[in-house]
Amino acid sequence: MLKIRDLNVHYGGIHALRGVDIDVEEGQIVSIIGSNGAGKSTLLNAISAVVKTSGGTIEFKGKPIPKSVNKIVGLGISQVPEGRLVFANLSVKDNLLMGAYLRRDKALIKRDLENVYRLFPRLYERIDQMAGTLSGGEQQMLAMGRGLMSDPDIILLDEPSLGLAPLLVKTIFEIIEDIKKMNKTILLVEQNAFKALSIADVGYVLEQGKIIKKGDAKELIADPVIQEAYLGKRKS
Amino acid sequence: MTTFLQQLINGISIGSVYALMAVGYSLVYSIMNFSNFAHGGVIMIGAYLGFFALAIWQLPFPIAFFIAAVGSGILAIVLERIAYNPLRKRNAPFLYFIISAMGASIFLENIVIATIGPNFKTYPQVFQKTPYEIGALAIGRLDVVMFIISAVSLLILLIIIEKTKVGMAIKATAYNFKASSLMGVNTDYIIFIVFGLGGALAGIAGILFGMKYTVYPQIGVITIKAFIAAVFGGLGSLSGAVIGAISLGIIETMTAGYISSQLRDLIAFALLIFILVVRPMGIMGKMNEDKA
């Protein structure tokens, strides 16, 4: 579904992504793990055309992606950005409706709005509240709900667990699995490597802009090198 | 009591025109996060467009009004394309935008001096001078017209912002460009709309001011009042701009009525400094939303 080949991104003088190859198949959860500054967000921003690429190709359903950010979501690629970026000055409902900005099919928008409320009952309770008044966890739910409102084929999640309490992190990962059951493909980037790999089908390890390892997520969890570097386990 | 009511009505009338300027200015600020000092130039061109339409081409008022509003809206859009868009594409620092805006303002002023001349121009009389008399109060017809036109214009803007999809996209973009464009919003189009709306309001303010006073190349300096009003209300907040503008109008006419008209501007500017010191976020503004 999503095919990335030899992707390079330069930020000023920094070579943020160095020849990255990634494949995401329909219906999968693909997790990209890596430490802070490894280039995870840059990768998602390159797919969303937020940052310019300096080499390589990104193909979605066999076609190269367009160069303007606002044309990406219409193809069926939705990004839930790092730091949530919910519209603090809009109500919860208006935030969700912004997610459906390009859609004209009123009946289906209504259906998806109800689906989002079912997935996140907490949002339904706060429907008229300004998004800026929500807690961090609620804002993450809103950002994910908003991301679903474009009825995407693939949803790109950028550090959804960042800054959340452990219990909320658990909830968020359960919701990601629920989203998969809604026939969505998911590309997840996370610092929380264990959680990210345990729900994933395929995992990639990104380090200093390069993919240093890829494979079946279960195998990556069992890999001693990964365990030591990312899962906080010592060699025994 | 009569003097008070009289000055109150005058203050609301003049304040409503300040509100047109302040809201247009605040609207651009909310999206672009910089003070568009060229706003005064657009108001000035609006005033001249109205003057030409009424005095030279002898057109009826509604058509002159339309020309001033649409002409100024187009001018604001063209200015954005020429003076700001190239900076935006290169992610230039905000100071560059402000300098570019000042340059545009000086350019507009001087092009008018060079082509039309530096002289004051007086509008023909459009509305009868005889005031409406209610008891001891005398309310100028033009003041009533100014208030009604301003109120209706602001109401239309309010409906666009609060009740339409493009209005929601304007608010979303004002909050965060990246998130908004991820939703599929063409932010260039939103900026186009915002400058068009702000420019149209400036043109309306221009023709109303021209009718009330006169037209001259430096009339755009009046925007400093709109700036005070916008800061008073809270930069970027549209309702704040309206409240700030009406308050400023009332403060000015009260000062003129009870103290001295010469102290009018002194008090208005003293007020600006006072507010910046005591409550820099204005009445309705939120400090944490200020990104500039």
Give pLDDT tens digits for A7-27.
999 987 889 999 999 999 999
Chain A within 8 Å of B175 (Cβ-Cβ)? yes
- Report pLDDT for B286: 56
Output the average pLDDT for chain B.
90
Cβ distance of A81 and B178 shorter than 8 Å: yes
Is-contact A177 A169, C-beta < 8 A? no
Q: What is the mean pLDDT of residues A58-64?
A: 96
pLDDT band, residue A236 (cuts 50/70/90): low
Domains with residue ranges and CATH for chain A = 28-49+72-230 (3.40.50.300)
Rounding to the nearest 10 degrees, give the CA dihedral for residues A166, A34, A40, A164. 10
- Report pLDDT for B134: 86
Q: Which DSSP category does A151 fall into?
A: -
Q: Write down the ipTM of this complex.
A: 0.94
- Would you tell me which residues 78-137 of chain A have a C-beta closer than 8 angstroms to some C-beta of chain B? 78-79, 81, 85-90, 94, 97-99, 101-102
CA distance A98 to chain B (A): 6
pLDDT band, residue B285 (cuts 50/70/90): low
In whole angstroms, give the CA distance from residue A123 to residue A125: 5
Question: Would you say the pTM of this structure is higher than 0.80?
Answer: yes
Read off the pLDDT of residues A147-174 as tens digits, 9 standing for 90 and up.
Answer: 999 999 999 999 999 999 999 999 999 9
In whole angstroms, give the CA distance from residue B190 to residue B186: 7
Read off the pLDDT of residues B157-201 as tens digits, 9 standing for 90 and up.
Answer: 999 999 999 999 999 999 999 999 999 999 999 999 999 999 999
- Report pLDDT for A235: 54
pLDDT band, residue B288 (cuts 50/70/90): very low
- Report pLDDT for A229: 84
In whole angstroms, give the CA distance from residue B285 to residue B236: 7
**By percentage, how much of chain A surpasses pLDDT 70?**
98
Q: What is the mean pLDDT of residues B236-262?
A: 89
Chain A within 8 Å of B57 (Cβ-Cβ)? no
In sequence order, which residues have a C-beta less than 8 Å from that of residue B162 and are 6 or more positions away?
none
Closest to A85 (Cβ–Cβ): which among B169, B179, B186? Answer: B179
Q: Is the pLDDT of residue A44 over 50?
A: yes
Cβ distance of A90 and B289 shorter than 8 Å: no
Closest to A69 (Cβ–Cβ): which among B169, B181, B289? Answer: B181
A11, A89, A106: best to mutate for the B interface, most B CBs within 10 A: A89
Is-contact B292 B94, C-beta < 8 A? yes
CB atoms within 10 A of CB B57: 11
Q: What is the mean pLDDT of residues A117-145?
A: 96
Chain A within 8 Å of B283 (Cβ-Cβ)? no
Q: Is the pLDDT of residue B233 over 90?
A: no
- Report pLDDT for B120: 94
Domain ranges for chain B, please list them.
2-222
For residue A83, the chain B residue with the least C-alpha distance is: B179
Chain A within 8 Å of B239 (Cβ-Cβ)? no
- Report pLDDT for B291: 35
Cβ distance of A101 and B289 shorter than 8 Å: no
Cβ distance of B184 and A101 shorter than 8 Å: yes
Is-contact A142 A135, C-beta < 8 A? no
Q: What angle do CA B45, B50, B53 make, to 5 degrees?
A: 120
